[in-house]
Structure 1
Amino acid sequence: MDKEPENSGDLGSETANPAKDECPAEDEAAQLREKLLRLTAEFDNFRKRSIREREEYRKFAVEQIITELLEVYDNFERAIESAKQTDDIESVVKGVEMVFKQFTSILEKEGLQKIECHGEEFDPNLHEAIMHVEHPEHEEGKVVNVCKPGYYLHTKVIRPAMVAVSKKPDEEEKNSSK
């Protein structure tokens, strides 16, 4: 008989154990919730920091080229002042040409290239036709005049060239002129 109460005590302790088993599961769930909230907050902070860094980068990405162009700016100011004080037009022209060369060399160093297109076949990826011109010396579809140059930045066309494109004279106009 003494043993029965021990067994009944064991049953009572077994019924108490499932409650204890639920506590570790609840603790683990609470820890996972905390971890999820912490990771969510960290990700949100990372996203905000990335946006801030990207905006900062955009602001100062052109700093180097602006610094180089300031030299050109200064030289243009000097050329204007010099032009006001001299009657020698040739020296003014030479000075402005030197500043222009300095300016173009900076742009070329940064990857800017002029699209060469005079006499080339019209390419809508490189050219924007602003007029068609009857030109008996050129085949149809050739660029005969560049109204505004186009430019590449490295390999990307950043401004297509505005061009005049040759076309053959209309047959009716040929016959009426005879």
Structure 2
Amino acid sequence: LPFPTLSLPHLSTPCTMSSPLYWESLCVFSTAAQQRSTGDECGPEDPRDEPKHPLSDCALEHKAIKLEEQVRDLTERYRKALADSENVRRRTQKFVEDAKLFGIQSFCRDLVEVADILEKTAESAAEEAEPTNPNPTLQKIYEGLSLLEAKLQSVFAKHGLQKMSPVGDKYDPYDHEIVCHVPAEGMQPGTIALVTQDGYKLHGRTIRHALVGVAVESQE
């Protein structure tokens, strides 16, 4: 039988089985084909084709519980922060309002001393301007002092400053200061029988206590 021939593209003449080049070329072709076949079957797998292992139901439930706890914790912190912010806002607003109302407190304390002097002067002028002493000058002075005192008290009231004349009221340590005790004649013990100095309040806050005498039961 004639030997088969092998045509190679890079050779101008065919190779026969008796030629060493024939067997060498055949070995090369066989090895390349085997490598291609092996590479197709045993090549590296696509990592995307690897099966994924999903989390178990228990793990998912545990994770959900953790997330819910975090949400509750953050919500509670947010609410507390809002409450703290609101408290700070209210305290700041109250501080500003008090500063507006009571910023003149020291000034008012000084003014009420002037009012005391004016009141005592008007009382002295009233005693001198009695009908038994018909002096027109003293009468005019008394009338002028009375008008001035009334105007001053009107200005005080306009700015929230009020005088306390607590005769007959129950003794209150927040508003009154006891300077003496007097026998309770026709009065309930513990009530104020006399006032030696008027007290004053600024917008409901006592800025000067009234000096009072309190009625007590007489000791027989």
TM-score (norm 2): 0.38
Q: Which has the higher contact order (CA 8 A, sep 6+)?
A: 1
User: Taking structure 1 as the reference length, what is the TM-score of the superposition?
Assistant: 0.46
